[in-house]
């Protein structure tokens, strides 16, 4: 038996997870990938009963608010009274974030697409934009019509238009064990080691420990967000995403600062690394503040959600 | 099964006159724009009749339902099947036990439900740990083990070359080489001091 030839229709990626839609001659393949595992679901074209897509306008408000905030920060940075280097230091990441947000806006409205067969109703996570959903429908409609050519018109229900069908009960989040606690604990520990980085005498010892703990928090964040160890509550997953971003920022930027200091120490043959510049210390203090806040809030949220 | 089509956002019923409209319609529940496409298969199977019974003596009967008239023969084991037991899989007629066996031994490619991507795993083991500096010392041998053990294991059911395996192999060798060189340099430095 020959394996079918697939054509890619849509793809959506997130950290540690992706969702793809592929089209074969007679079926649609939905691939849900989590870290290193792919899960497959097949929908035969002759069995697809309906496709419904609904726009999610509230996301547009969040998008515009985030863009306005980024631009406001950019203006603030441009007005910094500090050095030119400090302005460049802050402007580059802000410009990158702003550009990403503009691209996000251009991509169009968010939407949710649901495919229904006789056996199941499945959200197609690979399609999240109206434009893409329209293209998907344009591709699928002639193929479904061809596959269902021998069947009569769709059955129509005897429905009361004012009826609102009650939502099915939400599936409770599966337990994720102590992982969220460990993750938030790691973030607080990273902040503690980060604080030690400010003291030149212990910076060399604290730096690798700080990065290791930050990366541990990142790894646990991936596990929590991707749901590979159980589904954590939504708020915990949201905090985990923020933690992952902060951990990467922490490792990359403080790492760069640490190595710059070490290089300067060896080139100038100093006994200790030179004191970090003022803006760099301010940056580290900001990251430490964010990490401590995230860690404490996360621990509290996890504790409260577990108690319910 | 209900024939009603509901909004995925608020579960409000979408009136029949809004089905298959070319333009978006507004949901009455959440006021979001909704597009509904309903196909002929909608409602197929609802209230359908049972498979025909044996009426004339000598008619072939279903292997699983002796009272039902045979509709086709299983292409896996040859058993006669009624329309209830006939499973259409990629144009082939199979009985439930052949389908079940196919799922268990994963011989039936079109029934596979999941696969592990060992090539991505090996590549991740050789790259990400560099962020910890000493991590590859432990993960590079693990990556080599994964590469050797799963080189011939089928990867994704989609098109996928072994490029990641090759890349992981190169990275693992480089990772280990770097540590070997580092160890030699350390030994030489210690000896020079002595």
| pLDDT tens readout for residues B73-92 | 888 888 888 888 888 776 67
Contact call for residues B41 and A46 (beta carbons, < 8 A): yes
Q: What is the pLDDT of residue A173?
A: 58
Residues 6+ apart with CB under 8 A from A212: B132
Q: What is the pLDDT of residue A202?
A: 58
For residue A192, give both structure tokens: 């503690």
Partner A contacted by B133 (CB < 8 A): yes
SS3 A245: helix
Over residues A198-203, mean pLDDT: 63
- Beta-carbon separation of B35 and A153 below 8 A: no
Residue-wise pLDDT tens digits, B100-139: 777 655 555 667 788 999 999 999 999 988 887 788 889 9
- For chain B, the average pLDDT equals 83
**Which of A115-119, A195-199, A215-219 shows the lowest per-residue confidence on average (mean pLDDT)?**
A195-199
- Beta-carbon separation of A52 and B121 below 8 A: no
Name the band, by pLDDT with cuts 50, 70 and 90, for residue A16: confident
Higher-pLDDT residue of A231 and B84 is B84
Task: State how far residue A78 is from chain B, nearest Cα, in angstroms.
Answer: 32
Q: What is the pLDDT of residue A249?
A: 78
Partner A contacted by B66 (CB < 8 A): no
The chain A residue lying nearest B13, using CA atoms, is A164
- Beta-carbon separation of A159 and B131 below 8 A: no
- Beta-carbon separation of B13 and A164 below 8 A: yes
Contact call for residues A109 and A56 (beta carbons, < 8 A): yes
Name the band, by pLDDT with cuts 50, 70 and 90, for residue A229: low
Give which of A247, A242, A245 is closest to A216, Cα–Cα.
Answer: A247
Name the band, by pLDDT with cuts 50, 70 and 90, for residue A224: confident
Residues of chain B contacting residue A190, judged by C-beta atoms under 8 Å apart: none
pLDDT at A54 over 80: yes
Over residues A5-14, mean pLDDT: 88
Higher-pLDDT residue of A225 and B139 is B139
Partner B contacted by A114 (CB < 8 A): yes
Partner A contacted by B105 (CB < 8 A): no
Distance in angstroms (rounded) separating the CA atoms of residues A218 and A239? 12
Looking at residue B128, what DSSP letter applies?
A: G
Distance in angstroms (rounded) separating the CA atoms of residues A28 and A20? 10
Q: What is the pLDDT of residue B149?
A: 94
Give which of B66, B60, B8 is closest to B34, Cα–Cα.
Answer: B8
Residues of chain B contacting residue A215, judged by C-beta atoms under 8 Å apart: 131-132
Residue-wise pLDDT tens digits, A80-121: 656 677 777 777 878 888 888 888 888 888 899 999 888 788
Task: State how far residue A80 is from chain B, nearest Cα, in angstroms.
Answer: 32
Partner B contacted by A93 (CB < 8 A): no
Percent of chain B at pLDDT exceeding 90: 23
For residue A162, give both structure tokens: 């004012």
Higher-pLDDT residue of A16 and A42 is A42
Contact call for residues A126 and A10 (beta carbons, < 8 A): yes
- Beta-carbon separation of A37 and B34 below 8 A: no
Higher-pLDDT residue of A295 and A284 is A295
Number of cross-chain residue pairs from A and B with Cβ atoms under 8 Å apart: 167
Distance in angstroms (rounded) separating the CA atoms of residues A265 and A207? 16
Q: What is the pLDDT of residue B49?
A: 59
- Beta-carbon separation of A166 and B11 below 8 A: yes
**Which of A158-167, B38-47, B58-67 shows the lowest per-residue confidence on average (mean pLDDT)?**
A158-167
Instruction: Give me the residue from A38, A41, A159 closest to B117, CB to CB.
Output: A38
The chain B residue lying nearest A8, using CA atoms, is B158
Name the band, by pLDDT with cuts 50, 70 and 90, for residue A161: very low
Specify the length of chain A in residues: 308
Residue-wise pLDDT tens digits, A66-76: 777 777 777 76
Partner B contacted by A141 (CB < 8 A): yes
The predicted model scores a pTM of 0.63
Q: Which residue is listed with tokens 């503040």?
A: A289
Contact call for residues B125 and B175 (beta carbons, < 8 A): no
Q: What is the 3-state secondary structure (H, E, C) of B17-36?
A: HHCCCCCCEECCCCCCEEEE
Over residues B40-69, mean pLDDT: 76
- Beta-carbon separation of A54 and B157 below 8 A: no
pLDDT at B157 over 50: yes
């Amino acid at each position: 038996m020959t394996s079918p030839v697939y054509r890619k229709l849509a793809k959506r990626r997130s950290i540690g997870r992706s969702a793809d839609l592929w089209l074969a001659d007679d079926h649609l393949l939905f691939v849900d990938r989590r870290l290193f595992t792919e899960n497959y679901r097949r929908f035969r074209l002759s069995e697809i009963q309906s496709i419904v897509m609904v726009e999610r306008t509230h996301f547009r408000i969040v998008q515009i608010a985030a863009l306005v905030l980024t631009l406001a920060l950019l203006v603030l940075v441009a007005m910094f009274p500090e050095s030119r280097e400090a302005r460049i230091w802050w402007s580059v990441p802000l410009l990158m974030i702003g550009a990403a947000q503009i691209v996000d806006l251009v991509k169009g409205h968010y939407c949710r697409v649901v495919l229904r067969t006789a056996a199941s109703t499945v959200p197609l996570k690979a399609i999240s934009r109206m434009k893409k959903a329209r293209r998907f429908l344009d591709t699928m409609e002639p193929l479904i019509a061809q596959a269902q050519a021998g069947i009569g018109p769709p059955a129509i229900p005897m429905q009361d238009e004012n009826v609102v069908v009650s939502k099915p009960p939400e599936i409770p989040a599966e337990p994720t064990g102590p992982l969220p606690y460990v993750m938030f604990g790691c973030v607080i520990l990273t902040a503690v080691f980060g604080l030690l980085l400010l003291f030149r005498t212990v910076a060399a010892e604290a730096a690798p420990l700080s990065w290791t703990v930050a990366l541990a928090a990142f790894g646990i964040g991936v596990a929590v967000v991707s749901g590979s160890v159980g589904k954590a509550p939504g708020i915990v997953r949201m905090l985990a995403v923020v933690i992952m971003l902060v951990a990467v920022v922490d490792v990359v930027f403080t790492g760069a600062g640490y190595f710059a200091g070490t290089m300067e120490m060896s080139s100038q043959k100093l006994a200790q690394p030179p004191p970090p510049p003022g803006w760099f210390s301010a940056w580290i203090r900001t990251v430490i503040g964010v990490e401590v806040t995230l860690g404490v809030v996360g621990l509290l949220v996890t504790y409260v959600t577990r108690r319910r | 099964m209900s024939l009603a089509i509901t909004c995925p956002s608020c579960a409000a019923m979408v009136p029949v006159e809004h089905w298959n409209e070319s333009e978006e319609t507004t949901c009455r529940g959440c006021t979001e724009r909704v597009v509904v496409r309903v196909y002929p298969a909608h409602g197929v199977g609802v209230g359908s009749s049972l498979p025909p019974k044996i009426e004339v003596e000598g008619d072939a009967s279903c292997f699983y339902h002796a009272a039902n008239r045979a509709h086709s023969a299983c292409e896996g084991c040859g058993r006669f099947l009624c329309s209830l037991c006939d499973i259409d899989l990629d144009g082939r007629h199979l009985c439930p036990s052949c389908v079940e066996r196919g799922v268990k031994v994963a011989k039936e490619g079109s029934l596979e439900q999941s696969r592990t991507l060992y090539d991505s795993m090996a590549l991740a083991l050789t790259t990400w740990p560099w962020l910890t500096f000493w991590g590859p010392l432990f993960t590079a041998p693990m990556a080599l083990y994964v590469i050797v053990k799963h080189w011939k294991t089928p990867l994704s059911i989609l098109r996928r070359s072994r490029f990641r395996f090759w890349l992981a192999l190169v990275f693992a060798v480089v990772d280990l080489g770097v540590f070997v060189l580092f160890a030699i340099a350390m030994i030489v430095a210690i000896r020079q001091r002595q």
